Every structure is written in structure tokens, then in C-alpha cells.
Structure 1
Amino acid sequence: MEFFGPHLLGYLIALLHSLGTLAAIHAVLTVRTAQGSIAWALSLIFIPYLTLIPYLIFGRSTFDAYIQARRQANQEMHKAIAELNWRPWVEEALSARNSLAYASLRAMPKLGRMPCLANNQVRLLINGDATFGAIFETIRSARTAVLIQFFIIHDDELGRQLQTLLKAKAAEGVAIYVLYDRIGSHSLPHSYVQPLRDAGVQVKAFATRSGWLNRFQVNFRNHRKIVVVDGATGFVGGHNIGDEYMGKKPPLAPWRDTHVQVSGPVVACLQESFAEDWFWAARELPPLLLPDTYPDAGVLCQLLASGPADPYETCSLFFVEAIHAATERVWITSPYFVPDEAVFAALRLAVLRGVDVRLLLPSRPDHRIVYAASSLYASEAVRAGVRVFRYTPGFLHQKVVLVDNEISAIGSANLDNRSFRLNFEVMLLTVDEAFASEVEKMLMDDFDLAHEISQEENRQTHRLQQLGMRVARLISPIL
């Protein structure tokens, strides 16, 4: 009976530490990155009471099985569209070779699975009113098909506006396909989805696998935001469907975000990215449409769709390549700044080359642990000579990169490990001086509303705050 007496707690602690040590060894052998291995291993060894169960759920090696399954699904999807003569961009892609700015991104033709295409039209959409005004107006004009993909769809005022519009278009005979992420939209009720299905809208949730266990797999998120109408007009950026993206939810309001409207050959790439995700969820293709003609002139665009099933870390390498390509400036905005060593080293080197390196980050946290880790990286960036700004009016959620005078990229990817290696993301790269000037003006307006972190302010950070930031950074690879 003494076994169940005072010694029981000691036995349980010893058992937990033993299991934690075994799990730590497993993490070292299976986790994809060195930073992630260290983060898991240290936490499993020293605090297994808090991390053992999360590791069994979030860090288990079955994620590799999801990757293999996704790659197989992608192969099946591309076989299914092989007979559609789908890739219409061969002639347009040749024009990209004439751009000296695009030539500075020497890895991009191979890094992106889709080519850089000429003769596109782009429109910058700043904040929610402009973004959803343009999206809803374009959907109202739809005649054939609408493809919609968001990480988050809320059953709120904006979500119900979208629901009403889609039901009306479905009643007109327009084919509507809606894809949302099951983790990001975990609060979306059946009462929102079923009326859409009853109206004839095709609705699917992106998930690893069906079944109740899927709710515990949070590392296979589809973070992309894509809308395509009639195969002719597309939208991509940082907004999701929710009232907070319209700036209607304090304390993060006003919400600062950016989207892009695009037409031209690159819209086919947006459809192909959507088709891969829809095929994963439904094992069938959505309608893929091409306009009868394309514009005779326009800007160069390349769609960079990245995800954990890529043969290499596409998203992280994109940021490294963009930073290395900069000769005059590289300005980056992101709600989360938890870079890997390669991206941080690229920023340091850019500063040493004399490049104007700026980061625009939020001043208000929406995830406190991530914000604490981001703050430490921001402090180190300031010490390295990077100009770091905190946007003060509200929460900054836009994901924008501006390189020199012609190159910009806008989409869904954050500067953190989750976007680099765990999420499905999409960025629209644009090579055009006039559009880059618009992006520059937009960012200059943002900098005017931001507070720059000074070296002196950086040194005055309280020691207790520094401790909290360092603890947060320790676990940042698994956030």
C-alpha cells in the first residue's frame, strides 16, 4: 500500500521525466528544423508536465504522413488537368526575361512552381472597405464561376453579407466554390454552412483528415486568401472574412491590412493554387476558366504558392532571395516577426551592404507569446542596424515586401516559422515601377503613423521583460 502513499507523486514525476526524455530523443530525430528540435527537446526534458501531451498531439511524426498524402494528391490533381491544356502562359512568360529587376531574383524561376507572367493589371486595395468593396462588386458581376478561399470565415456581419451574396449568385446559376480552413474557422457553425449548401454552393473545409482527431492537428493550416471570379479577376492578400478585418472589433481596431486585385495571365496561377487545395479537400477539380483574350500590355507578376509539402522551404527561401536581391532598400511589414537564422542573417547582410532595411510591426499584440518573441527579435534587429517601426493606430496585419524601385510582394505569408514551414501560403510578386511606387506611398503613410524604436529605447528594456522575451523566443520555433 505504501506504493500508493507519499511516494506516488515521486513515481509520477519520474515517469513523466522518463517519458519526456524519450519524447525529446524522438523530437531530435524527427522534427524538421534544428530550432524546433531544440525547443521541443529542452521543454520536454525540463517541463514534461506541460509539454508532453502537446508534443504527442502537435509534434508527432504523423505530420510527415500528411505531407506525403498532400504530394500524392497534388500529383493526382495535375494529372487530372493535364488534358485541359491548362497552362496558357508560355508566350507571356517569355517577356519576364526582359526585366532587369526580375533578373536580380535569380532563384525565383525555379523557386516558384509557376512562372513570372507579363501583361497583368494590378490594383492596390488598402484596408477592409476597399478590399471587400472590390471583392463583393466583382462577385456581383460573376456570370460563370466564383472560387473563394479564406483561412478564417466568421459568422458575423461581414460573413453574413458574403453568405447572402453567394446564395443570390448561386440562384442565378453561377457555380460557387468555397474553401475555408477548419482550424482557422473552428468557430464557424453548421448553421452558417448548411444554408450555403442548400442554395447550391459547394463548401469544403481544408483539413488533414476527416474525423474528430483532426481537431488536434494544428500544423497543417491553409492560410491562403484567394478569390477568383470567372477566371478573369483575382484577389489575394491578408484579409479574412470577419468584422475585425473591417476594423469593427476593439481593442485591435482600426485594423490595418492590404489586398491586391489582379487580372491577366497570372489569374490562371491563382486558380491552379485553389484547385490543388480544393482537390485535397474534395478529390475533384473546380471549374478552371480562361478569358478569350489577355491584355497586350501590363506588369510582370509571379504567384508564389508555398506549403509544407514543397520539396524545399519555399516561403523562407523567398524572403532570403528578396532580401539578398536588394541594392537600395527592402521594406517588410508583418504582424509577426519570428525569423529563422537564414532570414535574420540576410537582413544583417543587407544592412552591411548599405541597404535601407525597415521592418513595420504591430504595437498591439493579438498573441502575447508570439508578440514577446517578436519583440526580442525586433530588439536584435535594431542592434543590427535595421530600422524597426511599431504601427500605433491599431493592429497591423498586412504582409508586404518592397525591394528597390520595382519589386513588391503582397499576400498571406508572415515572417515566422509557421508561415515558413507549416502553413500553406501565397504571395503575389509584382515587378513594376509604377505599382511599386504605389506600395511605397502606402508604406510611407504607415511609417508616418508608426513609432521608430531607437537604440536608447532598446537598451532600456526592463530585465524582467527581457527574460520573458527570451523564454518566448525559446519556444518560438514551435509557435
Structure 2
Amino acid sequence: MKPRPSARWVGGNQFRLLENGEEYFPCVFEAIAGARREVFVETFILFDDKIGRGLHAALLQAAQGGAQVHVLVDGFGSPDLPEDFVASLVQAGVRFRVFDPGRRLFGQRLNLLRRMHRKIVVVDGELGFIGGINYSADHVADFGPEAKQDYAVEVRGPIVAHMHRFVQAAVLPRAELRQRLRAAPPVPPPAGEAGALFVTRDNRHHTTDIERHYRIALRAARERVVIANAYFFPGYRLVREMRRAARRGVQVALILQGQPDMPIVKTAAGLLYDHLQRAGVRIHEYCERPLHGKVALVDGEWATVGSSNLDPLSLSLNLEANVVIRDARFNATLHERLSRLMRESCKQVEPAPRTRWEGLRLLRGYCVYHLMRWFPAWAGWLPRHAPVIEIVEADGLHKPAA
């Protein structure tokens, strides 16, 4: 049974923006530790550092308190967890699973493509968290200059039921999942006034859903668009909608990495700068530390927060999850945070001056722009296999999950 995200707007929700690990980790760890019935955690990265051990302690407390605890980590993002780290969880009753762990060849990890990149937590079917923050110490400021700038949200209300069904379908054996769905657990009561969609991307049924919602919002934009995204090299259609919005008078601002964690990130994004700026898009580079956020807002109500970057890996290969939010209060909060980021911690990139090589520069931009039209098709040619979720047993051995 495949996971199904929400296909329609759901009202009655409440969202709280959580900026960086300092706001996110205390809320998540407290919620997990206090779980009464069950916990689901999905994450790309889990490290054995002070943050990973904080999550470890919260998971143990939940399991020892009688909650059924499920953890799914990605085999590429979390490759070197110590045996005792995992074994102590499994021995306490945690069902610990690894998405597509792969095998090393001459010490090298080759399983780079089609990763489980989601970051979701659901506690007792009533409280959810989703965003871009992994469980590693580089998401808190005391890590130093390489600490990441990032965002997540705490979610309450009926949309949590959609998140809950999705994470159950991702890991539970089919028989157990059917039994749970027949029981029809109660939908959380209204907690606020926000409308929401839970939107995912996979390689079978929802290949373009997240990108499509970005494009819909850009087409509807009338006043402002602010996109903060760490890894930025979107496809032709998304770039086209940004340009069209700017040309019809919408204030379109991008916040991208100025101090990237990987140099190629800035190089790739820079290939698009001229093409976007000539349409009126303003580009800001965040220069204090690496940007890891994946958030956006449009006009005064629409916003999205999640795990999806705007690059080929997220838009065409990885498994991702975002919430799309329709709420003026949340939009205003996110706008205030991003405006402060642009004002205090970014530099605006000025358009490159015209030179005698202008023709070559325009040709380069034209070629890059039109080559991008084909990257979703290229993604289909890349190595493909049926990913396996393996469950870790008490003796440390892995076996395919049922």
C-alpha cells in the first residue's frame, strides 16, 4: 500500500515556525519523550553527536514509557551510526529501519541517488513536525561558522492525520497498516485557522507535486514572493514562472547560499543569476553561515516549509515532504524572519556590468536555461532500483522490512 499525501486543502490547523536547532530540538525532544502511544521519526541524517544523543534519549524515554516508536533513517545520510547507539534503541523496543542502506565498494558509498530526504515527526497522531532540520550538531549555533541556518514547523490540527497516515504507510507491514486504517483513528480536532496541504515527492506516483505547488503559487502571485532555498538549480518551468511574476510587477526575492557548504552549489546557482535578474528578480546571498532552509512565501497567505530543495536531486530524484500553508499570521511571521535575514545577514547581488563579452554571457544563460528544460527526463535515465527498507534487529543484523 503506497503512502498517500493530502490531495486537498484541510482547514483548522495551527503552525508554529521553528528557526534553527535552538528552537526546533527542545520542542521535538520534549514531544517525543512525552509520547503516550506512538512516535514516528523520519530523517535523512542522524549522527552520534550531542544532538543525535539528545534524540536517542528522547526515543528511549518514549519506548520505556510504553509508546511504540518507529525510526526511519536514510542509508546514505546516516551511514556510520555506532552499533551500540542503534542496539540500545532496538533492545528498548524501538523499531529502527534504514532506507536503502546500500553496500560500500572499496570503501566508497555509491548509493547517492533517490534518497529518503524527508524530515518528519508525528507523535500520538496529534502533533507533527516537518522541515529541513536534521539531527546533527551543525544545526545549532555553537557548532561554529559552519552551523546551518534552517527552518521547520510544529503542526497541530487535522492535517496531522494526513502526515500520520503517510508515515505509517512508509514503514508498517501491510497487514498491520490495513488493521490500523480499518480502525480509523480519530482526526485531531481543529487547533487554529490555517488551511494546509501535506505534499510529497516520490519516484512513482507523486513525481512533480511539490514543484507543481510552487508553480501554482507563482502564477497566482500579485505582490511579493520570497524564496529561501539552500540548493538552487530549478527546472525550466519554475524559472519561467519566477521570471513571469517579476515581469508583471511582483517583487520576487531569492535568498541563496553566499557561504555554501559545497562550492558547486553557488556555482550552479550563479549560472542562473543573469537570466533571473534581467527579468527583475532580486537575488540575496546569505553570508553568515551555510543556508540549509527550504521555505517560501507568496503574497499575504501562502507559504511552504519542508525538506525539498529546488534542485535536480530534490525535484526529480529524492523522496521529499513539504507542508503548504494558507494562513496570514504564519505568512507574516515567516516574512518578518526572512526580511530580517535579508536586511541583516545578506548581500544583494548586483547585476553583472555589461562588457564586450556580453554576447557570450547571454549565450551561456540561454543555453543553461534551455538545457534545464530536459533535466526531469534525464533523471529517468539515471540508475534506478527498487529501494529496500531494512529493519535492524537486536543482534545488529539487518533484514528487509515486511
> Taking structure 2 as the reference length, what is the TM-score of the superposition?
0.82
Quick one: which of 415, 421, 437 aligns to 2:316? 421
Quick one: which of 319, 332, 350 aligns to 1:437? 332
Alignment CA distance shift 1:337-1:466 (3 Å): farther
What SS does structure 2 have at the residue aligned with 1:216?
A: coil
Q: Does 1:387 align with 2:302?
A: no
Q: Does 1:228 align with 2:119?
A: no
Give yes or no for contact 2:201–2:207 (8 Å, CA) kept in 1: no
Quick one: which of 3, 15, 19 aligns to 1:122? 15
Larger radius of gyration: 1
> Could you tell me how far 1:122 is from its partner in structure 2?
1.2
Q: What one-letter code is carried by the residue in structure 1 that aligns with 2:41?
A: I
Alignment CA distance shift 1:293-1:258 (3 Å): closer
Counterpart position of 2:169: 276
Q: Does 1:367 align with 2:266?
A: no
> Could you tell me how far 1:127 is from its partner in structure 2?
1.3
> Could you tell me how far 1:210 is from its partner in structure 2?
6.6
Give yes or no for contact 2:259–2:288 (8 Å, CA) kept in 1: no
> Could you tell me how far 1:458 is from its partner in structure 2?
9.0
2 CA distance for matches of 1:469 and 1:178? Answer: 44
Q: Map of 1:125-144 to 2, 5 A cutoff?
A: 125-144=18-37
Counterpart position of 2:146: 252
Q: Gaps spanning 5+ residues in structure 1: where?
A: 1-72, 79-111
What SS does structure 1 have at the residue aligned with 2:341?
A: helix
Counterpart position of 1:452: 348
2 CA distance for matches of 1:197 and 1:416? Answer: 36
Give yes or no for contact 1:399–1:414 (8 Å, CA) kept in 2: yes
Quick one: which of 382, 407, 411 aligns to 2:306? 411
Q: Does 1:189 align with 2:82?
A: yes
Give yes or no for contact 2:275–2:365 (8 Å, CA) kept in 1: no
> Could you tell me how far 1:398 is from its partner in structure 2?
0.9
> Taking structure 1 as the reference length, what is the TM-score of the superposition?
0.70
1 CA distance for matches of 2:48 and 2:362? Answer: 39
2 CA distance for matches of 1:157 and 1:469? Answer: 44
Counterpart position of 1:147: 40
Q: Deviations over 1:133-192 (max 9, x none)?
A: 111121232111111111111111100111122112211111111011111112323332
Q: How many pairs are equivalent?
A: 369
Q: What one-letter code is carried by the residue in structure 2 that aligns with 1:453?
A: V
Query: Which structure: greater helix fraction?
Result: 1
Q: What one-letter code is carried by the residue in structure 2 that aligns with 1:244?
A: D
Q: Gaps spanning 5+ residues in structure 2: where?
A: 380-402
What SS does structure 1 have at the residue aligned with 2:79?
A: coil
Which stretch shifts more, 333-342 or 297-306? Answer: 297-306
Q: What one-letter code is carried by the residue in structure 2 that aligns with 1:118?
A: G
Q: Does 1:217 align with 2:217?
A: no
Counterpart position of 1:318: 213
Structure 1's consecutive aligned runs of 4 or more residues displaced over 4 angstroms after TM superposition are 209-215, 286-293, 456-461, 465-479
Q: Deviations over 1:376-433 (max 9, x none)?
A: 1233322331000001211111111101111111111111111111011111111111
> Could you tell me how far 1:440 is from its partner in structure 2?
0.9
Q: Deviations over 1:337-370 (max 9, x none)?
A: 1011111111111111111111001111212223
1 CA distance for matches of 2:211 and 2:103? Answer: 32
Query: Which structure: greater strand fraction?
Result: 2
2 CA distance for matches of 1:468 and 1:133? Answer: 47
Quick one: which of 50, 55, 58 aligns to 1:162? 55
Tell me the percent identity. Answer: 33
2 CA distance for matches of 1:467 and 1:366? Answer: 29
Counterpart position of 2:388: none
Counterpart position of 2:249: 354
Could you say which structure has the greater relative contact order, defined with CA pairs below 8 angstroms and 6 or more residues apart? 2
